[in-house]
Amino acid sequence: MNIVKKMSLSLLAILLLLPILSAPGTGTAEAAASASSSSKTKTVIGVSVATLWKTPGITRKLDAPSLTAPVDMVAWTAAMNTTEKRRWLTGKTETQALYGREVKIVQTKGSWSQVVVTDQSTSKSRYGYPGWLPTVQLKSVPASEWSRTSGKEAVVSAKTSTLYKADGKSKLLDLSFGTRLPVTSEKGQWIEVRTPQHGIARLRAEDVKIAVVGKAETQPTGAQLVETGKMFLGLPYLWAGTSAYGFDCSGFTGAVYSYYGILLPRDASEQALAGKAVTKADLQPGDLMFFAHNNGKGKVHHVAMYIGDGKMMHSPKAGKTVEIIPISAAGYANEFAGARRYLNE
């Protein structure tokens, strides 16, 4: 075989390998997420609250309850019983995703998978918020049963609600506020829902509200947003938290709005770009206030909800809890960077 033929065959081999080299698991998050979007199955979170990490393998021994399936959020958060233990998470965890939420797998390494959370918008990826979690916390479901385009869904309105087997007696797991599951039937004091791995299960009707999928939910009033947020007063701050077991600042505001079907960007710096700008003098309950470094002129690093009467409610930082303080409080008044409104007037 002459050298020209050898070079031609080598070039052909390289061209044939290119699609494989760019397949999910070796390419970018964009390519991998896009490739999985047309599948007959969907990947969803199979634990009550999944914590997404910046990279695999950086967890501590005390984080074990958050890495299993099922998780034990009560034990995990209780183990972080000092400010230092909670502050350690800063920059190491990315976000959280609730039971049944759809994700797209980007790649898998060992027992971990990198995913994007599809309902958490971010400039980091057009497919959703990225992070790593133990693969055991993921479940595959038929796309036809998890379409999110029709039917009804139960939205947990209590801080937490127990999911029971179909008999209504055997406990499966506890779900966080804001968890959404497809409704299969409504039976008096029980709402039957479809789950990722337990078939049909039950939630107490008093713990949920029913939303029609694909139909805009009734817009809340500012007062309703405030009252919903007040449910979590005293809840310890949790970096990357989006559940009733602990929120970060934007996780708190995002969860309150999401309960009413209004999806905000995941991070405070991007929530500050959504909605409509309002002046400090025109603040109304439910509006969000943003705070930035360099006396309000730098990068936005914090968000709070205005509740009226010159006060705001927020989840401030490790070592603190969801609280209400004056908007004139030291450390905040000088860093005010603007406010946004997300409700139609």
| Listed residue (133, 139, 194, 185) closest to 163, CA to CA | 194
For residue 31, give the H/E element and its range: helix 29-35
Of 198, 293, 301, 314, the catalytic one is 314
> What are the helix (H) ranges across the chain?
3-21, 29-35, 73-79, 83-87, 222-230, 249-259, 268-271, 293-296
Q: Name the DSSP class of 170.
A: S
Respond yes or no: is residue 293 known to be catalytic: no
- 165 with 202: CB under 8 angstroms? yes
Residue 198 annotated as catalytic: no
Q: Locate tokens 């937490």: which residue?
A: 160
| Nearest-angstrom CA–CA distance, 340 and 237 | 23
Q: Look at the alpha carbons of 221, 227, 231, 232 in this order and tell me if their dihedral is positive or negative.
A: positive
Pairing mode of beta strands 336-341, 200-204: unpaired
Q: Looking up tokens 């004139």, which residue turns up?
A: 328
Residues with a catalytic annotation lie at: 249, 302, 314
